[in-house]
Structures are given as C-alpha cells and as structure tokens.
Amino acid sequence: MGAADALLGHFWTIAPSLLHRMRPREAPPSRAWSTVIAADAASAGRPVTLSGALCEYEGADSLVVVVHGLGGALESPYCLRAAGVLRAQGFSTLRLALRGADRLGEDFYHAGLVADLHAAIASPELAHYENLFVLGYSLGGHVSLHAGFGPRDPRVRALAAVCAPLDLERSSQAIDSASRFVYRQHVLTGLKDIYRAVAARHPVPTPLARIERVRTIREWDALTVVPRYGFADVADYYARMSAGFRLSEITLPTLFLPSRHDPMVPAWTYGDLLARASSHVEVRWVEQGGHVGYPAQLRVHGDHVSSIEEHVAGWFRALRAVRPSSTR
C-alpha cells in the first residue's frame, strides 16, 4: 500500500465522522424498538433489555438488521447511511444497539456475543417478515459472522460484514499501536461511556476509577470482558471468539467486505484466514475508502459502485429467495 493510499484510508475513516458532527445525517422515519433477553448465565442472572430503531417500509417482506461497531451506537453515521439507502431500496431496517450501546446501563457486550442478534431476530415485532438479513460494520460485522455458525432462524437469508476484524489478537495489536492513538481513543471513549452507565446501575467487574485509566483495547478487554464473561484471560477470549478461525463453519451466504486501505483493521490482520472460509463466504475487497467510510464512487471487487450499501442491497435482493441449509 502506497503512502497516498494510506493517507486516503485515514481521510475516509475520519472525514465522515467529522462531517456528521458538523451536519448530522438524518435518520429515516423510525420508531423505538425493544426486546428483553431473559435472565441467564450470559446476562449475569438478570433480564437484559435491548433497544433499537425500527424503520418499516410499507409492504416490505424483508428486513435488514444493522449492527454498529465497537463503541458505536444507532446514530453512528454508517448506521444512518445504511438505514437510508436500504429504505430507498425497499427494505425495512432495524438498527440494533448491542447490550449497553444505548448508554442505558443494561450491560456491555463482547466481540462474540451473538445472543443479542438472535434475540432481535426472534422479537415479536419482526415476526411478520419473511426474509431477514444482517449487515454488520466493524466489530458488529464480527458479531454478525457468528450468526453464520450453527442453528438459526430459517428466515435469515444472508449476512454482510463490512470492515470486520477476523483475528481479535492481531486486530487489538493493530489498533493498540502508537500510530493508531486517535482511533483507539475514539473507540475507548464510547466503551467507557457504556461502562459508566452500567456502573451506575449494576455491580461491575472492575471499579470505574480503574477503567477510566484504560489506554488500550487489550487492557479494556482484560478488565471488563474477561471477568464479566468468564474467560480465562485475554488470550483465551481472543482465541475462542475470533470468527476468522471458524469461517469454514459458515453455512449461510455471507458477503465479506474488507477495505484495502483500512487503518483500523489493516489487511495484514487477516493473514490466511480468508483462504479458510467455506464456499458460502464471498470476499469482495473495497479498493477505495478507509474504515467504514468511503467516497461517493468506489470499486468493489473490480466493479464500480455508488456506495457500499447499494452494493450490499443488490446482493441481498439477489439472494432473497434463497433458504439457508440449516434451521433452528
């Protein structure tokens, strides 16, 4: 990757967020959505309420669940962009907040916690949809990949993951490097917001004062995710939850869209994992842009497209009639 390409990768990672702050992107007409996950081991023995924003396109038989990235939220610019484009393409959408991402203090999530996604799909308000799709960005894409392993709702037709990490160990090394300080601080700011809200309502595994001093993603994981979810240590968490080690198990049509010049999830972090993917996984490299941010015109797998979301919507439409090979 040349210096100019690297600079453009940084520009397209940062520019959409700055533009959104100056001129916030409007969400399509939506209403509040929620569902409750019953108390179980994964919920620390208490019910967990998930929230989201449901945008229903009149007469649509298909809905896309849109999942944000690490430290993100329903209002992240890429989630709003997806909801707008998909609605224009005739899809209903549910922008799902993973547990705690709404800053209401329910709990906090981790990179492999697919229970939230399954609970959203099973919610009564989505029961009338014949076709369900999942579009996840960054860590939300990693969570979405976990929905491709094992049994699932038979209405789920396909998954798409944009700029998703595959190897959590390598990905943490990349974002924890000195040159990625700005990105790391941005992500940690969101994560600490989530943790503060949880600490105000429930017991937490590590005192809030210690979490406020966290400076790396690995340290965050060691002090929050590992004790909260019972992993032996960070290495155990990364090894067990990294979706890339299980790509051969995916049995659902899956579109994987890594960005060639992504500064947050660099191409080198994938190693040889993409070569291990099952035949159900289609990899299409995005040649322009950065991490979940892109110019108006770009190339995906050699083809010129107007946006990532337009590309994903077209892929979903082509698969609308396909039924997955496994059911609940």
Digit-coded pLDDT (tens) for 172-226: 999 999 999 999 999 999 999 999 999 999 999 999 999 999 999 999 999 999 9
Q: What is the pLDDT of residue 323?
A: 54
- Residues above pLDDT 70, as percent of the chain: 95
Mean pLDDT of 52-73: 96
Q: What is the pLDDT of residue 17?
A: 80
Q: What is the pLDDT of residue 303?
A: 76
Give, in order, the Cα–Cα distances in Å from 193 to each of 188, 200, 207, 212: 8, 11, 14, 10
Spell out the domain ranges in the chain: 3-319
Question: Which residue type is seen at 165?
Answer: P
Q: What is the mean pLDDT of the chain?
A: 92
Residue-wise pLDDT tens digits, 259-279: 999 999 999 999 999 999 999
3-319: CATH class: alpha beta
Length of the chain: 328
Listed in sequence order, the DSSP H helices in the chain are: 3-22, 77-88, 115-121, 139-146, 168-175, 181-199, 208-211, 217-220, 226-229, 234-241, 308-319
Neighbouring C-beta atoms of residue 37, cutoff 10 Å: 21
**Position 130 confidence tier, pLDDT thresholds 50, 70, 90:** very high
**Position 327 confidence tier, pLDDT thresholds 50, 70, 90:** very low
Q: Spell out the residues 6+ positions from residue 157 whose beta carbon is closer than 8 angstroms to its own.
A: 62, 131, 132, 133, 252, 253, 316, 319, 320, 322, 323, 324
**Position 298 confidence tier, pLDDT thresholds 50, 70, 90:** confident
302: region left, alpha or beta (phi > 0 left; psi from -120 to 50 alpha): left
Q: What is the pLDDT of residue 326?
A: 44
